[in-house]
A and B are shown apart, each in its own frame.
Chain A
Amino acid sequence: MSATIIRNGRVIDPANKRDEIVDLAIVDGRIAQRSEISGQKSEVEEIDAKGLIVAPGLIDMHVHLREPGSSHKETIASGARAAAAGGFTTIVCMPNTSPPADNPSTIAWIKDRAAETGCVNVLPSGAISKDLAGEELAPIGSLEEAGVVAITDDGHCVQNHELMRRAVEYARMFGLPVLDHCQDYNLVGNGVVHEGYWSTLLGLPGWPAAGEEAIVLRNILLAELCDHRIHCQHISAAGSVRLLREARTRGVKISGEVCPHHIALTDEAIQNFDTNFKINPPLRSQRDVDALLEGIADGTLSILASDHAPHADFEKEVEFDVAPFGVVGLETELGIFIDLLVHKHGKIDIGRLIEMHTIEPARLLRIEAGTLSSGAVADVTLIDPNLEWAVKTDTFQSASRNSPFDGWKLRGRAVQTIVSGKTVWKL
């Protein structure tokens, strides 16, 4: 028997519409009633959470852990530590590994590896298409049996609308949500930065917003046609927000997520050709940033995620157009979101922010997580919403340092992360 009591914290549990200063009890790795603790004979661990928010363990449904295949960038172990340090107790890893997670044995390997080395819950997603090539369906049924929580070709995008339609239709019978990286290859071509003022000035190949919007629209039509959930990953463009808003108003099973860099930065950041600002989809204009903020405020964009994409220094330290896309995000994500969405722009309150990081992704993925209901697995994140801190990439738990936020001063962060009742990280 083990028991913990978290005292005097502000417990925010959006799934149960709860926001009160109260003690939270954990017995044997599960959330318990306060009374269950009183009967404990063994020692009870006490955590003083005065001034802190006690939230359900945060979920990030979009991370790249790079294992198997690229463990010089990240491993499941180091990625999980980065997640814990960022306040995340559950992460969903993308299938663009080497080999890709398009078969049940790779999924089994990832799950075994995560159980052995991961300090947080690592849930694999599987591929939509074989080899992420967009040509034929991956064995979606076998992937589901192997335990994937979603399918996606993230990093790639199925261009053939008919294949995508069948994938969505097929996934429907398993209740597996389909996540999509929205990028029309013809429109985007070899684009590396947002097509606009800065691409024109710098002569860098442009990636037009229409290249995302076209696929968001495709996904809305297919979600309607198949009556099944499609979730649009890392939304970056104003037009995508408008399309999603209209479709969600009509009740279409479509959703969208936002990453920290897309609301914290604009394409102006690329002017020194620093590849830590090379991201796919690219940093866009202020107008796009404003639209994303409105989409978060009105609920059009319901999920917050990092698209944590580690790359080694030597891979990023090359010519801009040949550098890989992506930034690490797990350890700065919560700080950026609290600082910008709650403090600076006042777009949402901390309760809604926690909801977008807990029960929203849990419901989308149909996983048992994201609440502090009695009896639930005791995944808990303690957050100090007012703690001021500076980002230092050299202190990251992640194996990579490719962050665009080094040196940023932020207000708000996780201070302790608890998985199944055990503290896995503490500031």
Chain B
Amino acid sequence: MNVRSPDMNRRWNRKDLLGLRELSADEINFILETADAFKQVGTREIKKVPALRGKTLVNFFVEPSTRTRTSFELAASRLSADVINISASTSSLTKGETLKDTAKVLEANHADIIVLRHSSAGAPQFLAQRLKSSVINAGDGAHEHPTQGLLDLYTIREKREKIDNLNVVIVGDILFSRVARSNIFGLLKLGARVTLVGPSTLAPREFEKLGVSISHKIDNVLPDADVVNLLRIQHERQRKEYFPSIGEYTQLFGLTKERAKLLKPDCLIMHPGPINRGVEIDSEVADGLQSVILDQVTNGLAVRMAVLYLCGGIATP
């Protein structure tokens, strides 16, 4: 994998991965194909390749995250990059330094790749416009979480051998979900049909303009689904105005054992984690045969290796 494939420069010339909305279907497919090779690396006894040897990656997390940060850290280590983790509590952002200044300092320390998690939509765009380093969006507000979108696409493609024409149902808090948006953009580009399910406050009609269908009756859409992607449901602070209780949510939208019986036998059950067992998904269903939740985690590593490899290769020729 330390030899750059000949069609790489033709199919990929971005230094940043900010979202899936701006990518073409070909670019998305190219990342997925590149991830295939890295997935194979993960099965070897020696899981490390020298692709990013000598490069420095900064995990810059201005919003807490364990899974995504760990996955990026592992991915970077396997590519032989040096990794530094900076989180909001240890960064100087809390001392009143602006995002721009902090990022400039990272760049002055020769960071080649900055992986940014931030609570503000558009923060990765903001950095990418101002830095020569590669900027990888690890989730920005309710905007995008492109590597999660890609690993979901990868998992669907791996298990169903295609994405085109599949019926994908995304259930939960769509309005505030960056995972939902990246999935919508990616799935539509690759030809899937997307149905959003959730309370009308969290799956508002405005989303129809993005080219998806909306349903508030989960029982009606489950029988035709090829993939059901359940988002984590929280009922804290501002969400209290959006639905009355977790109990009512589970009653109306939870993937219970009863409801799981409506699914086709080959329908995939996905969840970006962390799971609320018994809330958006029944505990046994989460661990059942149709669940690919842990495959998503494994694939996340391969997809992030591919993204770091492709973007990291562009930033410093």
Contact = CB atoms under 8 A, between A and B. Distances in A.
A318 B98 contact: yes
A205 B120 CA distance: 10
A389 interface: no
A320 B140 CA distance: 11
Contact of B120 (A199, A272, A319): A319
B207 interface: yes
Interface string B199-235: 0000010110110000000000000000000000000
A203 B209 contact: no
Interface string A261-275: 000000000001100
B39 interface: no
B121 A204 contact: yes
A322 interface: yes
Interface string A260-297: 00000000000011000000000000000000000000
B120 A322 contact: yes
A317 interface: yes
A195 B210 CA distance: 15
Interface string B107-137: 0000000000010111101100000000000
B193 to A, nearest CB: 19
Nearest to B129: A272
A406 B146 CA distance: 32
Contacts of A408: none
B99 A200 contact: no
A200 B141 contact: no
Contacts, number: 59
Nearest to A320: B122
A197 interface: yes
B69 interface: no
A314 B141 CA distance: 22
A273 B178 contact: no
B121 A201 contact: no
Given A201-B21, A203-B144, A273-B125, A319 B99 contact: yes
A203 B178 contact: yes
A123 B120 CA distance: 39
A321 B143 CA distance: 12
Contact of A201 (B98, B140, B210): B210
B181 interface: yes
Interface of B: 21, 98-100, 118, 120-123, 125-126, 140-144, 176, 178, 181, 204, 206-207, 209-210, 238
- Which are the 5 A-B pairs with shortest beta-carbon distances? A273-B122, A203-B142, A319-B120, A203-B143, A200-B206
Given A318-B98, A321-B141, 18 more contacts: A197-B206, A200-B204, A200-B207, A200-B210, A201-B181, A201-B210, A202-B121, A202-B143, A203-B144, A204-B143, A205-B142, A273-B121, A319-B120, A319-B122, A319-B123, A321-B121, A321-B122, A322-B120
